[in-house]
Amino acid sequence: QVIGVKLTGKLSGWSSPKDVILKVAGILTVKGGTGAIIEYHGPGVDSISCTGMATICNMGAEIGATTSVFPYNARMKKYLGKTGRADIAALADEFQQHLVPDSGCQYDQVIEINLSELKPHINGPFTPDLAHPVSDIGAVAEKEGWPVDIRVGLIGSCTNSSYEDMGRSAAVAKQALAHGLKCKSKFTITPGSEQIRATIERDGYAQILRDVGGLVLANACGPCIGQWDRKDIKKGEKNTIVTSYNRNFTGRNDANPETHAFVTSPEIVTALSIAGTLKFNPETDYLTGTDGKKFKLEAPDADELPKLEFDPGQDTYQYPPKDGSGQHVDVSPTSQRLQLLEPFDKWDGKDLEDMLILIKVKGKCTTDHISAAGPWLKFRGHLDNISNNLLIGAINIENGKANSVRNALTQEFGPVPDTARYYKKMGVKWAVIGDENYGEGSSREHAALEPRHLGGRVIITKSFARIHETNLKKQGLLPLTFADPADYNKIHPVDKLSIVGLADFAPGKPLKCVIKHPNGSQETIMLNHTFNESQIEWFQAGSALNRMKELQQKSS
């Protein structure tokens, strides 16, 4: 499907490209773009910078979109030229007629947004599709019992860290400094790349943001994925943070389930951090300077690209050896941080019989629920250790608890990873049953590696987020969906499952699932899949990497 988002009018004032996607997320929700391409078009497109379009497309993952696309235009040409890719711009100019919507094309759904009327938005908490105009959020927060005092404002990350973003934030900060003010909230800045870091240092933006009370962090994912050693609150303490990131699921940024995270544009984060409260609307409200005089922040303005060339910063790239065939990677067998991967086992050619159900998940299950970030990220290079976070955030339908599942072999309740390890030790294959949009959020590879490593074979859901579904296929797992979503209710955590017909596994051909209940009765349901022929070869080989190795050996 192709969903057309028609943009009319023109962005101005406090409204930013981030507000476009926050508004779209509010309309479509986190699963409204699943199975669809989002195509932005219309006369309003030309008022958005190239990096602004990138912000909108980057956050398309939050509505489940397969991809998002803008028509090629002069803003893209300008950006390509400034980043040393004028040759690509010239080629794009030559084929411009193919890089814009065809005249008279029909969309499966059309959303129209008048950019001239679009107000600054802030979405959250706990989900990126709960949209509010900034003007309303203070009152909504008070009504809902969300903390209105902002503990930390965080700008940057891959979504919103362009030169323009940093410039607009610095323009807000500069006004506060002129009146003797600094941020009331803690304030952090994550540059989006080494090039951005170096260029904002050279052009003075970084210093302005420091002067207003900001801390410039490394150009890395940082707090956006939980790489944040947060000291200002205790775990379990209810608090509010505002970020310019793309995701705000429970516990994502700081591993505290009581942190209410809201996503908005970098300039709104900066303004709210200066005021220190969700009750501040920069479009209408006044601040008080150190001289006692009231003043209003002017809408920020900044260059979309630097006047000078970009500063590439430090070149830290280490080239691999020209011939890697004789290379051996030494990893200490006692290392807790690194572990060499072993190939996963090949499919044995048989149907998957009598699998146990590790967990039947109730409700939202993002990749953060499947493989938590934060302190766990230190184990990213050690699959066995990071697997100790498998599905610890998912809610078990049997008891309404997280990280508490029944061991079908002992009948005792215990943590999800321990139960999976027990099944693996006993040589028993297992499955996971999921709800809607299973695996939304980050493209976290570990969320697919871990279930495979601990003996999982099948993930059956009402629907998948696209990237996670593909990741599961790559690791040799079977992501399957109920042909009839109501069949989710037929499976109970104490049942056993068999997937039959794998000898004839083929694209577009549903698979049969036999549900065996403890009383001896059986039911058969149909499961759909989206495997193509190459992906079926991944399953048969045990993983995509195994298949690549097979093809490599054939060719040599």
Average pLDDT per run of 10 along the chain, which is 556 residues long?
A: 97 97 95 90 97 96 91 97 97 97 95 98 96 98 98 94 97 98 98 95 98 95 90 96 94 92 98 98 98 98 96 92 89 96 96 98 94 90 98 97 97 98 98 95 91 98 93 98 97 97 97 97 98 98 97 88
Of 84, 114, 144, the residue that ends a domain is 114
Same domain, 451 and 548: yes
My answer on whether 276 and 356 are in the same domain is no
Residue 346 covered by a domain: no
Residue 71, domain CATH: 3.40.1060.10
Which of 288, 311, 333 is where one domain is finished?
A: 288
- Residues 125, 110 share a domain: no
Same domain for 257 and 188, yes or no, is yes
Domain with 261, as residue range(s), is 121-288
Residues 154, 109 share a domain: no
278 and 212 belong to one structural domain? yes
What pLDDT does 443 receive? 80
Residue 270: CATH number of its domain: 3.30.499.10
Query: SS3 string of 423-486?
Result: HHHCCCCEEEECCCCECECCCCCHHHHHHHHCCEEEEEECCECHHHHHHHHHCCCEEEEECCHH
Q: Tell me if 294 is assigned to some domain.
A: no
pLDDT of residue 334: 95
CA distance 204 to 210: 10
Confidence at residue 238, expressed as pLDDT on a 0 to 100 scale:
98
Domain boundary among the residues 250, 266, 288 is at 288
pLDDT of residue 94: 98
402 and 481 assigned to the same domain: yes
**What is the pLDDT, as a whole number, of residue 113?**
98
* Residue 142 falls inside a structural domain: yes
Strand (E) positions, 231-332?
A: 239-243, 259-263, 287-288, 294-295
Q: Which amino acid makes up residue 430?
A: W
Are 267 and 243 within one domain? yes
**pLDDT value, residue 157:** 85
Determine the pLDDT at residue 34. Answer: 82
Does residue 324 fall inside a structural domain? no
Number of domains in the chain: 3
Residue 330 in any domain: the answer is no
The CA distance from 555 to 274, in Å, is 61
Domain assignment of residue 293, yes or no? no
pLDDT value of residue 469: 96
Q: Report the predicted TM-score, pTM, of the whole model to 2 decimal places.
A: 0.86
Shared domain check, 505 and 375: yes
| Dist CA 373 CA 388 (whole Å) | 12
Contact between 472 and 458 under an 8 Å Cβ cutoff? The reply is no
3 state DSSP class of 328: coil
Kindly state whether residue 308 falls inside one of the protein's structural domains: no
**In one letter, which amino acid is 73?**
N
Instruction: Please tell me whether residues 99 and 204 are part of one structural domain.
Output: no
Do 358 and 383 belong together in one domain? yes
Q: Quick one: 284 and 378 in the same domain?
A: no
